[in-house]
Amino acid sequence: MKRVCMLALPEALASSVSIPLEMMSAADTIHGLRQHRRQRQLQLDIVAEHIEPLPMTAGISLTPTTSLDQVAESSLVFIPALWGNPRAAVRRHARMVDWLQQQYQQGATFCSVGTGSYFLAEAGLLDDRTATTHWRYFDDFSREYPRVNLQRKRFITHQDRLYCTGSVNAVRDVMLHFVEVLFDAQIADEVARHFTHELKRSFEALLLATDQKNSHHDEQIIKVQEWLQKHYTETINLTEVAQRFGLNSRTFNRRFRLAAGKTPMQYLQEVRVDQARELLKQSNLSIAEIAFAVAYQDVSYFTGLFKRLQGVTPNAYRRLVRNKVFNVHQEG
């Protein structure tokens, strides 16, 4: 039985612990049902320095199932994202750093979420290796750990047995990769249907995916971009979006263009067309169904917009991709 550990500490984002736990548990349950047996393949543990309730973000309390001292070996370890100053958290949890070094020497695979990569870097495991972290701490991370090959435009990095994700948003994608490795592609597909509305992309494509759409440091506009990425299937009034984030229309448009290099409408159109591209590549939906899926009721308008941004019509794009006439660069 493989042991999968989710580290927990008071400074952690609760979702960066719960998402890996829930997705792994779901995969193990599905596997058991398919094998017509109740015996689990994985031992899932929430691991902390002490077995006592931990106050986490948003008022959530999490009780570990075991302590560091009780875990001699593990197969896969998740290091959560940290809320606040990650360097201070690392200093307060030196025992966890030592434990990570020991586990890696014994063959464990690690996956850090967001600023959880500080723990791996502090343990020296990322020296001369590729990694990423939350964008807000890029400069601090580089100063603190100059030997790490920090990838500022990657959502996910992987080298040897070390995986890093730039934020909690990327956790589901890398989790599906681990489910496929530990079980199989069919179980990963089923887990994906339960935990995300998006089609599962290949892990190789995710490693190449860049954060170009959000590669700036206006935190308010990044929040807007993330909101648009989440709600692109809805009818969106950009004036109302500006109000939602406490900005008047003029300031909103000026700051968005300055940060992203395009207007909010251009950005939203690109997000929708990017999703349409994925549906054209990976589904048999009609052009009208795809247009509707990305919030365009007028198929003619959608077709014209797609051609303007991609240089070919949706039908032509689908034919070219499926015939492998050219290799399409997949954006994150």
> What would the pLDDT profile of 203-258 be if each residue is shown by its tens digit?
555 554 544 555 566 778 988 998 998 899 999 999 999 999 999 999 999 999 99
Of 282, 260, 296, 288, nearest to 328 by C-alpha is 282
The residue assigned the tokens 């042991």 is 3
pLDDT at 54: 93
pLDDT at 35: 79
The residue assigned the tokens 């949890």 is 93
CA atoms within 13 A on the CB side of 250: 0
d(CA 48, CA 63): 9
pLDDT at 315: 93
Burial class of residue 212, CB neighbours in 10 A (0-12, 13-18, 19+): exposed
Q: What is the pLDDT of residues 26-57, one digit of tens each?
A: 999 999 988 776 678 999 999 999 999 998 87
d(CA 189, CA 177): 10
Q: What percent of the chain has pLDDT over 70?
A: 89
Domain with CATH 1.10.10.60 in the chain: 217-322
The residue assigned the tokens 């606040």 is 84
Over range 156-170, report the average pLDDT. Answer: 90
Characterize the bridge pairing of strands 61-62 and 54-55: antiparallel
Q: What is the mean pLDDT of the chain?
A: 88
Q: Give the three-state DSSP class for 196.
A: coil
H or E element at residue 24? helix 15-34
Which range (97-101, 138-142, 198-202, 236-240) has the least confidence? Answer: 198-202
Structure tokens at 116: 């959880």
| pLDDT exceeds 50 at position 328 | no
- Fold for the domain defined by 217-322: Arc Repressor Mutant, subunit A (1.10.10)
- Fold for the domain defined by 2-208: Rossmann fold (3.40.50)
Domain with CATH 3.40.50.880 in the chain: 2-208
